[in-house]
Amino acid sequence: MKPKIFIDGRDGTTGLQIYDRLNGRDDIELLLIDESNPEDPVLRKELINQADLIFLCLPDDIAEQSVSFIENDNTRVIDASTAHRVADGWVYGLPELSDKQHEKIRTAKRVSNPGCHSTGAILLLKPLMEAGVIPQDYPIAITSVTGYTGGGMKMINDYEEPNRAENSELNAPRLYGMGASHKHIPEIMQYTGIKTAPSFMPLVADYPQGMQVIIPLHLPGKRQTVTDILSKTYARCLNINVLDDKPIFAESNLNADTDKVAIRIRGFEDKIILTAQFDNLGKGASGAAVQNMNIMLGFNEYERLKF
């Protein structure tokens, strides 16, 4: 029997992308809600308890409500919201996190999909911190540039407004989350081992998809060590490519519309610059969610992912 899948919040950016990836697959059955009333809690609860696996593509409070609706012990969850990323009883949905994480996801009932900025930061930092190359109290600074689709439908509509003024503030990269309490910081700290909150500065720019997480490090004489650790860590991952190179430019939309991650080690003198380039809607959201679903249901991990 085909597993039944329900996307709670299908009309949002992540939900639509997950639907597009799953629609037409012959190894699952998609449960669809009445489009005239997609927020009806009675209808949602009914479908949640019919499903073998549900995706939650919702604001945090509504995602928590959906979890409270579950009465069927066999219903499994992948939550794309922030609500459960550091919660007890939830498995973090980053298979590349460690050799054991894939198995944890495969057997989990509750999986939290990582944040997009967090994905890049954790992939870059965790292996180096685990190896002791970066001390736990090292002052980490993270800059992350993302396309505007990561901001949801309102931001997408703002950027794609056909009559947008030539001098609009949207025409240039914009800093945001400047209150220094960005929602991705707790998961970055929990899954890397950082003891002090990093300085984190996200930017949104006038292009739709793709992002680049940038972390500068002062580690004299450690560049080859850093390259070796990251290369060995991700050698088994078909979706991650590690390169030690010296490009003139490093574009943030390099892997747009794919589920690939390019990890690059660059530097000069005693400085190392780590970057992770991937799609904010791919490995940063819907692609990661589908990868987790594939693992949980026993399918090929990379089924229908984009390479």
For residue 302, being part of any structural domain is answered with no
End-to-end CA distance of the chain: 29
Give the total number of structural domains in the chain. 2
- Higher-confidence position of 164 and 261: 261
Supply the range of the domain harboring residue 291: 4-114+284-296
Determine the average pLDDT of the residues in 23-31. 96
Q: What is the pTM of this model?
A: 0.96
Select which of 116, 205, 226, 281 is catalytic. Answer: 116
Tokens found for residue 24: 């037409």
The string of pLDDT tens digits covering residues 216-233 is 999 999 999 999 999 999
Q: Is 245 exposed, middle or buried (0-12, 13-18, 19+ CB in 10 A)?
A: exposed
In a domain, 172, yes or no: yes
pLDDT of residue 180: 57
Q: Which of 11-15, 31-35, 85-89, 245-249 shows the lowest mean pLDDT across its residues?
A: 245-249
pLDDT tens profile 81-90: 999 999 999 9
CATH code: domain of residue 23? 3.40.50.720
Q: For residue 278, what pLDDT is reported?
A: 98
Give yes or no for a contact between 63 and 84, defined as CB atoms under 8 angstroms apart.
yes
The CA distance from 93 to 26, in Å, is 24
Active-site residue 116, yes or no? yes
Q: If you write DSSP's letter for every residue of 143-168 in order, what string do you get?
A: EEEEEGGGGHHHHHHHHT-TT--TT-
Would you state the pLDDT for residue 179? 67
Q: Which helix (H) or strand (E) holds 231?
A: helix 223-233
pLDDT digits (tens, 9 = 90+) for 151-209: 888 999 999 999 888 878 999 999 987 765 678 999 999 999 999 999 999 999 999 99
73 and 130 part of one domain = no
